[in-house]
């Protein structure tokens, strides 16, 4: 069976400057830690290796506490296909981004020596971190966003980038930018889904009790979370099991066994708390996986098998029953 999960570890470097906004980096770092935890629980290797770097060995955060033990900026930081790297730049308090201080000047000098390469050395900016990237010349010709207070400043600093307003995050590989604070978590969840699969991202989002946005062009909530706005532990057990192994031979009785209830009672619980029948939920999860496989280049037969459909016909039937436009054989219409 095909897999969308890549096995190479990813080095994630969080750059922490004096007064860095705590939630800009702590939220995404926790999301990545939880992703590793979910992978380990499934017998897989951790996917993300987190490091915290800076121009100084310690830095006060926006809320006053100090972070120590920061590693120096690696010199040189080269795009290395053996060790894929994400560089994370975060914001700081203030109406504008102050780059006229010793620490910022040292950071910008280092950033200007980088060469971003998709899948090798990629940039993630959160909130006003996009301004740092702009001052370093890393977003020229790119589509990017930032906090709405900094949109005009971003246009002024880098006139040759396309500033996107009113967006949670924007991806223009190898640059991924978010609007700020909680949207950094949304972007991180999106990247976790790309690297580890939607089920892992859904588990992380559920643990963090946040909404999961599938991507910058996808306004609809992911099916992996769309029916999870409830607190019923038995339903969460079933949904976790289905999301983790959607291609397993699920039927109403096996789902009820996970919930430790009868099939009839499970159906009642699903309708009352999730607003959908158990098997309908399963079909939506499988359809979402099939769509992801089709978008990744699989043919209809491969996508159907990957998602757990018994045949191409069953995939096509679910496609039309759930109101999808076009056909599975035409992924451009997804």
For the chain, residues classed under CATH 3.40.50.880 are 10-217
**Residue 220: what pLDDT?**
36
Q: Which of 234, 175, 229 is nearest to 202 (CA)?
A: 229
Burial class (CB in 10 A: 0-12, 13-18, 19+), 160: exposed
User: Which pLDDT does position 58 carry in this prediction?
Assistant: 95
Structure confidence at residue 197 (pLDDT): 86
How far is 67 from 72, CA to CA, in rounded Å? 14
Tokens read off for 74: 């690696």
Report the pLDDT value the prediction gives residue 157, as an integer from 0 to 100: 97
| Assigned token pair, 323 | 């109101």
Full-model pTM: 0.69
Which residue, 74, 88, 76, 71, is CA-closest to 31? 88
Q: Which CATH number fits domain 227-333: 1.10.10.920, 1.20.120.420, 1.10.10.60, 1.25.10.10?
A: 1.10.10.60
pLDDT of residue 4: 45
* Per-residue model confidence (pLDDT) at position 212: 46
- What is each CA distance from 75 to 63, 71, 138, 268, 294, in whole angstroms? 30, 11, 18, 60, 40
User: For residue 81, what pLDDT is reported?
Assistant: 63
Domain spanning 10-217, CATH class: alpha beta
Integer CA distances (angstroms), 21 to 51, 66, 124, 166, in order: 17, 12, 15, 21
- Average pLDDT per 10 consecutive residues for the chain, totaling 334 residues: 57 95 94 96 95 95 93 83 90 90 95 93 96 97 93 96 87 93 88 89 82 44 68 86 89 96 95 92 91 81 91 91 82 44
Show the DSSP H helices in the chain as ranges.
22-41, 102-111, 129-135, 151-157, 182-196, 198-208, 223-226, 233-244, 252-259, 263-269, 278-295, 300-307, 312-321
User: What pLDDT was estimated at residue 14?
Assistant: 97
């Amino acid at each position: 069976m095909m897999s969308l999960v890549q096995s190479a570890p990813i080095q994630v470097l969080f750059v922490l400057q004096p007064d860095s906004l705590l939630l800009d980096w702590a939220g995404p770092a926790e999301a990545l830690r939880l992703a590793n935890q979910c992978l380990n629980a499934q017998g897989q290797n951790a996917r993300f290796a987190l490091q915290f770097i800076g121009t100084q060995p310690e830095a006060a955060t926006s809320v006053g506490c100090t972070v120590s033990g920061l590693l120096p900026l690696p010199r040189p930081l080269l795009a290395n296909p053996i060790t894929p790297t994400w560089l994370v730049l975060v914001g700081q308090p203030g109406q504008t981004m102050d780059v006229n201080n010793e620490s910022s000047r040292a950071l910008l000098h280092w950033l200007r020596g980088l060469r971003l390469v998709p899948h090798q050395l990629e940039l993630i900016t959160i909130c006003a971190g996009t301004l740092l990237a702009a001052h370093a010349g890393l977003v020229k010709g790119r589509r990017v966003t930032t906090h709405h207070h900094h949109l005009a400043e971003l246009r002024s600093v880098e006139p040759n980038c396309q500033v996107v307003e009113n967006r949670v995050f924007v991806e223009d590989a190898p640059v991924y930018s978010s609007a700020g604070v909680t949207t950094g978590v949304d972007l991180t969840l999106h990247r976790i889904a790309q690297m580890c699969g939607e089920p892992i991202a859904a588990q992380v989002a559920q643990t963090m009790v946040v909404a999961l946005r599938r991507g910058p062009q996808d306004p609809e909530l992911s099916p992996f979370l769309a029916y999870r706005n409830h607190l019923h532990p038995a339903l969460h057990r079933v949904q976790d099991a289905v999301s983790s192994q959607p291609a397993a031979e699920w039927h109403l009785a096996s789902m009820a066994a996970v919930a430790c209830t009868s099939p009839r009672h499970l159906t009642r619980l699903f309708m009352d708390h999730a607003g959908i029948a158990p098997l309908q939920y399963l079909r939506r999860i499988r359809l979402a996986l099939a769509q992801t496989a089709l978008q990744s280049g699989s043919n209809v037969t491969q996508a159907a098998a990957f998602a757990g459909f018994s045949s191409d016909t069953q995939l096509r039937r679910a496609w039309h029953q759930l109101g999808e436009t076009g056909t599975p054989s035409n992924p451009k219409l997804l």
